[in-house]
Amino acid sequence: MTSPGDVVTLSVPAGSEYVGLVRTVAAGVAARLDLDLDHVEDMRLAVSEACTVLLGLAGHAGRLEVTLRVAEGGVDVVVARATTASSVLADDSFAWTVLEALADEVASTVTGGVASIRLRFGAAEETAGTGSA
C-alpha cells in the first residue's frame, strides 16, 4: 500500500517512446492508492497528455521530470521539462480541456526556464465535507 508522503520520481529522455513508461508508473501508483479503475485510467491518460504537451514545447531534446507525491486521499503529479517557451498551455486549448476533464486540479507554469504541468487526483472527491469539528 502506498502511504501519504511517499514520492516517486522519474527522469526519462524527452521522447515519445518514454511516455508509455511514465504512464505505466502513474497508473501503478494510482492503483496502489486503491482508486477505482476509472480514476486510475483518468490519471494514466492525463499524465500521458501532460507529457505530450511538454514534448511539443521543445521537441525531443532534454528530459521529462515526473514527480508523483502521495497526499492524504490522492496524488499530486508534476511533469516538467526545460524550455524556452514563455507559456505551457492556454486555458482555452483542447489539451487543457482534456486535462481538466481527467484531473481534479490542473495548473501549468513556466518558471526559470522550466515548464511544468501539475495535476491533482483523488482528494477533492474523497475529502469533500470531511472538515474537523
User: What is the 3 state secondary structure string of 57-120?
Assistant: HHCCCCEEEEEEEEECCEEEEEEEEECCCCCCCCCCCHHHHHHHHHCCEEEEEEECCEEEEEEE
Amino acid identity for residue 48 in this structure = S
- pLDDT tens digits for range 64-101: 999 999 988 789 999 999 998 888 888 889 999 999 99
What are the residue ranges spanned by the domains of the chain?
Answer: 7-127
Residue (of 24, 39, 33) closest to 1 by Cα position: 33
What distance in Å separates the CA atoms of residue 66 and residue 30, rounded to the nearest whole number? 14
Is the per-residue pLDDT at 130 higher than 70?
Answer: no
- Classify domain 7-127 by CATH number: 3.30.565.10
